[in-house]
Amino acid sequence: MYSFKNDYSEGAHPRILNALIESNMEQEEGYGEDRYSREAIELLKERLGSKDVEIHLLTGGTQTNLTSISAFLRPHEAVIAVNSGHIATHETGAIEATGHKVITVQAVAGKLTPSHLQDVLEAHTDEHMVKPKLVYISNSTEIGSIYVKSELEQLKDFCEEHDLILFLDGARLGSALCSDENDIELSDLPNLVDAFYIGGTKNGALLGEALVLVKNSLRADFRYHIKQKGGLLAKGRLLGIQFAELFRDNLFFELALHANKMAGILRDEISKEGFTFLTHSPSNQIFPILPNEIIAELQTKYSFHIWEKVDEGQSAIRLVTSWATKEEKVMGFIEDLKQVLIK
């Protein structure tokens, strides 16, 4: 049984494991004050082309989202997100549990636009309802789409005009930045959003997300918030070592390119067999629509999510490739699909 369920089924890239082993018996300061974490933060600032950002290393995406959003907002303030957004669908109400409502909107291709934000603001007019304050987006999105630069510029302009915080979930940022359709550089992000994070968990690390705080007003006492939410890791070196290795050269981007390449092969070959897709996804997640009987056959050899029922006879499945996906496994999936078709 080979898994196309997610991009974190494997452990970590061997270079990261080797770096962890080689440093294992060294004594270091705790809670992110170690030399590896400091090195990783400096490497990230160089890649971002900005020294004027604050960077914190946390363990996972949900933890980063709830720590950040709860720190940024006052008790009566709320978040705007698409209905398919991770904080609205796959975080067990983590944001609401910190006391902040998530206002969801229906959106084409899983992406917010200024018109969505305008509609929400017009529907929340006074102190008898929550006050929309933070705009949550992800790149790539939960359905594999990506934001291009002009879309982020329009969102940023609207947020600045209406005093909203623009926060980008970057759990799969590597895949988005390495997409053939992307026109954003990592160094563009500090000018496009108020805060964002760079996902390591889904791009070759054992675990870890690098949170970048751009806007000064979001930085106050942030380590207090991390500690209170259980995110200030005593052995913070484990995060620092991994991000230092990912960004010492182009490893982070090489791994994301590989994941996208494997997804591209699946996408092209499935298209050749005449199947369509639920969404346009130029990243490492694809959503082909297949007859239910074919899905059942494929499930005898492969694991993947059945994402959405399309009609009585068809469903969309989600196939996710990773930094470690083997091309022979991808081609094996295609060959098995072909064999099912000729039965």
pLDDT score, position 13: 98
Task: Give the model confidence (pLDDT) of 92-144 as tens digits.
Answer: 999 999 999 999 999 989 999 999 999 999 999 999 999 999 999 999 999 99
pLDDT score, position 108: 84
Q: Which helix (H) or strand (E) holds 168?
A: strand 165-169
Percent of the chain with pLDDT over 90: 99
> What mean pLDDT is predicted for residues 179-199?
98
Pick from 16, 61, 13: which is nearest to 325 by CA? 13
> Which residues fall within 8 angstroms of residue 93, CB to CB, at 6 or more apart?
none
Phi, psi torsion values for 206, nearest 5 degrees = -65, -45
Cα separation, 122 vs 120, whole angstroms: 5
Whether residue 208 has pLDDT greater than 90: yes
CB 54, CB 219: distance < 8 Å: yes
Average pLDDT over the chain reads 97
> What mean pLDDT is predicted for residues 287-304?
97
pLDDT score, position 309: 96
Would 14-251 and 253-341 be classified into the same CATH topology? no
Task: Give the model confidence (pLDDT) of 240-256 as tens digits.
Answer: 999 999 999 999 999 99
CB 319, CB 297: distance < 8 Å: no
Task: Give the model confidence (pLDDT) of 9-33 as tens digits.
Answer: 999 999 999 999 999 999 999 999 9
Cα 295 to Cα 276, 289, 317, 340: the distances in Å are 14, 9, 8, 10
> What mean pLDDT is predicted for residues 270-282?
97
> Which residues fall within 8 angstroms of residue 131, CB to CB, at 6 or more apart?
76, 77, 78, 124
pLDDT score, position 304: 98
Number of residues written out for the chain = 343
Q: Which residue has the tokens 């790539």?
A: 140
Angle at which helix 237-247 crosses helix 251-272, to 10 degrees, equals 70
The domain locations on the chain are 14-251, 253-341
- Give the SS3 label for residue 212: strand
pLDDT score, position 1: 93
What spatial distance separates the first Cα and last Cα of the chain, rounded to whole Å? Answer: 21
Angle at which helix 149-161 crosses helix 114-123, to 10 degrees, equals 30
Percent of the chain with pLDDT over 70: 100
Query: For the chain, where are the alpha helices, taking DSSP H only?
Result: 14-22, 35-48, 61-72, 86-89, 94-97, 114-123, 149-161, 173-177, 189-192, 222-228, 237-247, 251-272, 292-298, 327-341
Task: Give the model confidence (pLDDT) of 34-86 as tens digits.
Answer: 999 999 999 999 999 999 999 999 999 999 999 999 999 999 999 999 999 99
CB 74, CB 100: distance < 8 Å: no
Pick the CATH number of 253-341 from 3.40.50.20, 3.90.480.20, 3.90.1150.10, 3.40.225.10: 3.90.1150.10
Q: Does domain 14-251 have CATH number 3.20.19.10?
A: no
pLDDT score, position 342: 84
Q: Count CB neighbours of 131 within 10 A.
A: 15
Whether residue 343 has pLDDT greater than 80: no
> Which residues fall within 8 angstroms of residue 21, CB to CB, at 6 or more apart?
none
Q: Which residue has the tokens 């005593």?
A: 234
The gap from C-alpha 288 to its chain's centroid, in whole angstroms, comes to 21
Cα 148 to Cα 59, 151, 252: the distances in Å are 27, 6, 20
Cα separation, 60 vs 231, whole angstroms: 9
Pick from 8, 167, 192, 156: which is nearest to 95 by CA? 167
Torsion over CA: 155, 156, 160, 166 (sign): positive
Q: Which residue has the tokens 């005898």?
A: 300
